[in-house]
């Protein structure tokens, strides 16, 4: 009999490392724009440490304030994996702190994303481990379960599946379906190149902004050559 709500799946399909690595130098904003601004986590989930992340999602979900399944995930995840923890956005108890994140470093994980709270902020923000979280509190967690590992989760209002590509920088996090990753990568890289050319034009004083007036005219904006009365 299936024990829904208290299960662990041991296997995930991880994308090719070279595909994941190709996203590391592309800003999350460019990736998100190339996905019609979809699949970007809520702004409340912010980067805690100083390093960006890119890796396959190793998903975890638990009841609010409980980190039993996160302990198990730290033991299971492979080097490069990004643990994505669905903590329901609860900020009353810290799901992880310095000790557990040191385990993540020793395991050579690609990062940790917590839709919930963390603690030991002074230490965590200096670690060479990508850490993203929704908040900070000194209150500790419970270790009772239940929970699930490597099932679809909801984190930052986005559904994340095991093996999805997770990319994060100082702006936030975007989730990329592996089956669509090559096309998204090509669009994001082109957008990055286009923005580079636009920046050069701005700095050189040759940036063309005539499109703004064309857009206003097309939308029927009234322009009045007089003072407001």
- Give the distance between the most distant pair of CA atoms in the chain: 76
Residue 40, annotated as binding a ligand: no
Residue 99, annotated as binding a ligand: yes
Residue 69, annotated as binding a ligand: no
Burial annotation 74-109 (CB, 10 A radius, 16+ → b, else e): bebbeebbbbbbbbebbbebbbbbeebbeebeebeb
Residue 127, annotated as binding a ligand: no
Two tokens, residue 24: 């590391």
What is the spatial distance between Cα 57 and Cα 62, in angstroms, rounded to a whole number? Answer: 16
Residue 63, annotated as binding a ligand: no
Please provide residue 4's backbone torsions phi and psi, each rounded to the nearest 5 degrees.
Answer: -55, 130
Residue owning tokens 């890289």: 189
Specify the length of the chain in residues.
229
Inter-CA distances, 12 with 61, 81, 181, 213, Å: 15, 10, 17, 51
The string of DSSP letters for 117-162 reads EE--HHHHTTSSS-EEEEEE-SPPPB----EEESS-EEETTEEE-T
Residue 100, annotated as binding a ligand: yes
Strands 165-169 and 82-86 turn out to be unpaired
Residues contributing to the annotated binding site for Mg(2+):
120
Residues contributing to the annotated binding site for substrate:
97-100, 119
Residues contributing to the annotated binding site:
97-100, 119-120
């Amino acid at each position: 009999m299936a024990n829904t709500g208290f299960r662990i799946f041991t296997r995930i399909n991880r994308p090719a490392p070279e595909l994941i690595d190709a996203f590391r130098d592309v800003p999350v904003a460019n990736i998100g724009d190339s996905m019609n601004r979809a699949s970007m986590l809520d702004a409340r989930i912010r980067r805690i440490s100083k390093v960006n992340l890119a890796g396959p999602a190793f998903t975890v979900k638990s009841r609010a304030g409980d980190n039993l399944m996160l302990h198990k995930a730290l033991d299971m995840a492979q080097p490069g994996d990004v643990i994505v923890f669905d903590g329901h956005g609860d900020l009353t108890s810290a799901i992880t702190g310095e000790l557990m994140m040191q385990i993540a470093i020793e395991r050579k994980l690609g990062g940790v994303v917590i839709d919930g709270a963390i603690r030991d902020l002074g230490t965590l923000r200096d670690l060479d481990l990508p850490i993203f979280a929704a908040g900070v509190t000194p209150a500790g967690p419970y270790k009772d379960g239940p929970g699930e590992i490597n099932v679809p989760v909801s984190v930052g209002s986005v559904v994340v599946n095991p093996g999805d590509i997770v990319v994060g920088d100082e702006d936030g996090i975007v989730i990329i379906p592996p089956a669509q990753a090559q096309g998204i990568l090509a669009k994001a890289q082109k957008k990055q190149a286009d923005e580079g050319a636009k920046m050069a034009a701005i700095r050189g004083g040759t940036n063309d902004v005539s499109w703004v007036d064309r857009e206003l005219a097309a939308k029927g904006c009234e322009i009045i050559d007089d003072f407001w009365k």
